[in-house]
Amino acid sequence: MHRFKVANTSPVLISLAEEETTMELGSFQFFYVAAITFLTVFLLHSFLVTKKRPRRRLPPGRALALPFLGHLPFLKQPLHATLTRLAARHGPVFSLRLGSRPAVVVASAELARECFSSELDATLANRPRFPSLKEVSFDYRALTVASYGAHWRAARRVAVVHLLSARRVDLMSDAVVARELRALVRRLARVAAGGAARVELKRRLFDLSHSVLMEAIARSRNTYSDDGADMSREAREMKDIVDAIVPLVGVANLWDYLPVLRWLDWRGVRRRLADATSRRNAFIYKLIDGERQKRLNAAADAADKQQEEQEQSMIGVMLSLQKSEPELYTDTFIAALVANLLGAGTETTSTTTEWAMALLLNHPAALKKAQEEIDTHLSLSGEPSRLLDKKDLPHLPYLHCIISETLRLCPAAPLLLPHEAAADCKLHGYDVAAGTIVLVNAYAIHRDPAAWGPAPGEFRPERFEHGSAEGKFMIPFGMGRRKCPGESLAMRTMGLVLGTLIQYFDWTRVGDEEVDMAASSGTVMFKAVPLEALCTLRAGMDTLLQKL
């Protein structure tokens, strides 16, 4: 057995060790006392501040909210449907905690009117600055997300007065929309030349909306790989960009409410957003540079210049404004507005038309009734063999009923775009603090049985016939200061597109089952499953096609 010899320890070393241990204990005790003192002072201060602060009457809401997460884990997708169910439980206005952000949800026509009344409209005209939108919106300069103020007013004025005025909408309908519709009909007719053809309508409707906006924004014509292509090269590029950006931004994106997700970036959101945004910006700045070069190369006389100013593109209009106020109408200002028009205008119009066709496929009697209305009107007009145009739309009331019922059931922005309280205010007697996100649930308001009867979720265009829906509240384009300025163009385009598709073709479902009407969650309410349908050229349309 081994023996271990223990060396003698010096008394001096023992004394030093004991002194060091005593110092460590003293330091620990000091920090312990300091921490307790700080915590006590903090709690006492919080108690006194809370006691002095007047008690707020907050809207009702779920009692359980998790630390840091709030109510986010309890909100199932799609968000607009979940919030509709919560409204049935908690009432037409209720509170939520979205991560660290307080939110108030409004789900009745009465309260929506109050939100956009003269007393509250300006207070709730701000947009929340979601981190995911910073780069996508050119540092919050885009019209739809800009804070209420001087920049927003300037962008809104340009959009309303110069880009989306009644006169320009008329010009676009007569020239651009009509030409792109003729091209769409010719392509579909070629695809269906051998009989019923299966087509994905989502892509073709996106291509049409994109083509119309590209022509109006930059006088740019799309290019197709072949006559049967469902999308142009430019539309495909933009759709890839939009499809990459939309799921990563907006009110349903957890990344915006939980800072830890942004720090970790475990799904690569920041990288994917940066990549998609970079591709989109390159696309837009190429349009701006191209328009600027056209203007530099132009050598027209005074008469040509006057005509050019009347028919110039939207980018051309803004470049003209840039000459007089270069510090305001910068290239970034122009790019932000163009991005807004391309992103919001293309997706919302094409998506609503897709929903309308899906509803009609599930209700073939309504589709047949719309066809008969168009045929009858064109026969009575004395020009049965011509393409539908804008002057026909006022004489097609049932077509308008279909579009109105689609907007009621399937608003493109079911929660509108989120608002933010700029100051403390009261809503329906409840206190709403500054910085609170206010979500107006148009989806729930449009399906209120008190307004729309015992079956508000059913597709019944007849609800709008003969003015029977007069006075009923609908806000598919928003309301108040932040209402969508493109409503007139969207309604005109949807009427012409839907009417033309019905006029030229017979549409049926791919199988015996009804079209899946499931919706995705996000800022825009897309169909979860893109619409496919069987397309057949109607009898007697061959002769009419030769005139297109």
Q: List the binding residues for heme.
A: 484
Residue that wins the pLDDT comparison between 547 and 378: 378
3-state secondary structure of 103: strand
Question: Pairing mode, if any, of strands 419-420 and 101-106?
Answer: unpaired
d(Cα 264, Cα 225) in Å, to the nearest integer? 42
Instruction: Quote the tokens at residue 413.
Output: 């922005």
Instruction: Burial-class residue 83 by CB neighbours within 10 Å (0-12, 13-18, 19+).
Output: buried
Q: What's the chain's average pLDDT?
A: 86
**pLDDT for 94:** 97
The answer to whether 415 and 439 have CB atoms below 8 angstroms apart is yes
Question: Pairing mode, if any, of strands 437-440 and 419-420?
Answer: antiparallel
Q: List the binding residues.
A: 484
pLDDT in tens, 338-376: 999 988 889 899 999 999 999 999 999 999 999 999 999
Instruction: Quote the tokens at residue 265.
Output: 């970036």
For the residues 268-293, what does the mean pLDDT come to?
Answer: 93
pLDDT value at 124 more than 70 = yes
Instruction: Quote the tokens at residue 532.
Output: 């496919």
Question: Pairing mode, if any, of strands 101-106 and 437-440?
Answer: parallel
The answer to whether 103 and 439 have CB atoms below 8 angstroms apart is yes
Parse the chain into domains and list their residue ranges.
Answer: 133-414+496-545
d(Cα 442, Cα 419) in Å, to the nearest integer? 13
> In the chain, pLDDT over 70 holds for what percent of residues?
86
The answer to whether 465 and 398 have CB atoms below 8 angstroms apart is yes
End-to-end CA distance of the chain: 109
Residue type, 26: G
d(Cα 387, Cα 405) in Å, to the nearest integer? 25
**pLDDT for 312:** 80
Q: CA distances (Å), 22 to each of 13, 14, 26, 29, in order?
A: 14, 12, 6, 10
> In the chain, pLDDT over 90 holds for what percent of residues?
61
Outline where 158-301 has alpha helix (H): 166-171, 178-191, 201-218, 233-245, 259-264, 269-297
**pLDDT for 484:** 95
pLDDT in tens, 248-258: 886 657 778 88
**pLDDT for 139:** 96
pLDDT in tens, 474-533: 999 999 999 999 999 999 999 999 999 999 999 999 999 999 999 988 888 999 999 999
pLDDT in tens, 17-60: 444 444 444 444 544 555 566 556 545 654 554 445 567 888 99
201: nearest Cα among 524, 542, 497, 514? 497
Residues 6+ apart with CB under 8 A from 308: 298, 300
329: nearest Cα among 294, 288, 295? 288
The answer to whether 415 and 442 have CB atoms below 8 angstroms apart is yes
CATH class of the domain at 133-414+496-545: mainly alpha
**pLDDT for 209:** 93
pLDDT in tens, 299-341: 554 445 545 555 688 999 999 999 999 999 999 999 999 999 9
3-state secondary structure of 66: strand
Question: Pairing mode, if any, of strands 425-427 and 430-432?
Answer: antiparallel
pTM summary value: 0.87
Q: Is the dihedral of CA 497, 502, 505, 508 positive or negative?
A: positive
Output DSSP code: residue 519: B
The answer to whether 218 and 287 have CB atoms below 8 angstroms apart is yes
**pLDDT for 28:** 45
Neighbours of 457 (CB within 10 A): 10
Question: Pairing mode, if any, of strands 93-98 and 197-200?
Answer: unpaired
Residues 6+ apart with CB under 8 A from 14: none
Residues 6+ apart with CB under 8 A from 117: none
